Amino acid sequence: MISEIKKEILSRIDKELVLNKLASGRRIDGRGLFDFRRINIVPALIEKAEGSAFVSLGKTKVLAGVKVSLAHPFLDTPNQGIFVVNTEFTPVAAPTYELGPPSEFAIEVARVVDRAIRGSEMIKLEDLVVVPGELVWMINIDIYALDDDGNLIDASLISAVAALSVGFLPKVEIIDETRAKYEIIKDEKRPIPLQDMPVSFTFAKIRDHLILDPLYIEENMMSGRLTIAINTKGELCSVQKGEGGGFKLEDILLAKDVSLKKANEIRNIILEQLAKKPRGEEAWNEIRG
């Protein structure tokens, strides 16, 4: 579906430029085949969110926000909290995105991000229970694409884990357990209970070349897309192949090796960026560009 919506008509000159660079082991922005673009994170900049992060990956920009609320747990998991990942790829981000319900691509990204977080058990869902079987925290993670210069999948996961990392839960005072009467104390809060930090690596296949962290123009030329997420233990925690084209077994093994090799490096960059103190109004300078 994305191939239908997202593909723009590229000029032959642009295509040839990309291919010529790839033939010499380089990318049009000067990167090597398996180089990640620069990651910049502005944590906790949205006042009304319980957690938020603005992430730029090169010129790709996304903004994730966490909102928490109390809900009834699902019947089959009475002792677990709930989290929902939602992506909004609105027309702000690219001329080919349309209004209306999320596209197949946006839903695919949300599900890949969800699986990486769920698979790595990043959020301690048991610690989100307020009254077992009755009342649990529901964490909504909404990811807005602001500018698409390729690889929204990895940018989205980075923004989600960053927003969760600075996220908090207000204190709940139970007034009447049987009738689920409670009071939320906003001023007393604790961090969202976390125990892992997944990072993902998205590869594109263009002709015979396998590249990491594709640009918008490269995505328009790719035949296949492969995402591998790695948890803190160094295990694979979510995989997704996308688009029409196929991958050879060697490609997949190579992508796995590259992902495993880079996981700690990228995770450390995220942690470093998260350590930046939120700077109020100053933080918005990053969005202003």
Partner 1 sequence: MAKLVKNGVMLLDEKGLRNDGRRWDELRPIKMTTGVLERADGSAIVETGGTKVLAAVYGPREVYPKHLAVPDKAIFRVAYRMASFSVEDRKKPQPSRREIELSKVIKEAIEPAIFLEQFPRTVIDAYVLVLQADGGTRVASINAVSLALADAGIPMKGLVSAIAVGRLGNQVIVDLNDVEDKYGDSDMPIAMIPITGEITLFQMDGTMNPEIFEKCLEAAKQAISEIYKMQREVLRRKYLSIKEQVLKGDVNDIGDKKGDTKQNR
Query: What residues make contact with partner 1 under the rule CB under 8 A?
Result: 46-49, 52, 59, 61, 63, 65-67, 69, 86, 88, 90-95, 99, 101-102, 140, 142, 144, 146-149, 216, 284, 287-289
| Cα gap 173→30, rounded to integer Å | 55
CB of 95 to partner 1, least distance (A): 5
Nearer to partner 1, 149 or 196 (CB): 149
Cβ-based neighbours of 265, under 8 Å, separated by 6 or more: none
Nearer to partner 1, 142 or 218 (CB): 142
CB of 277 to partner 1, least distance (A): 19
CB of 101 to partner 1, least distance (A): 8
User: CA nearest 138: which of 64, 51, 69, 66?
Assistant: 69
CB of 217 to partner 1, least distance (A): 12
CB of 146 to partner 1, least distance (A): 7
| Cα gap 65→79, rounded to integer Å | 25
Nearer to partner 1, 35 or 88 (CB): 88
Binning the chain into helix, strand and coil, the percentages to the nearest 5 are 30, 35, 35
Nearer to partner 1, 163 or 229 (CB): 163
**Are 194 and 117 spatial neighbours (Cβ–Cβ below 8 Å)?**
no
Q: What is the dihedral of CA 90, 92, 96, 101, to 10 degrees?
A: 10
Nearer to partner 1, 148 or 154 (CB): 148
**Are 247 and 205 spatial neighbours (Cβ–Cβ below 8 Å)?**
yes
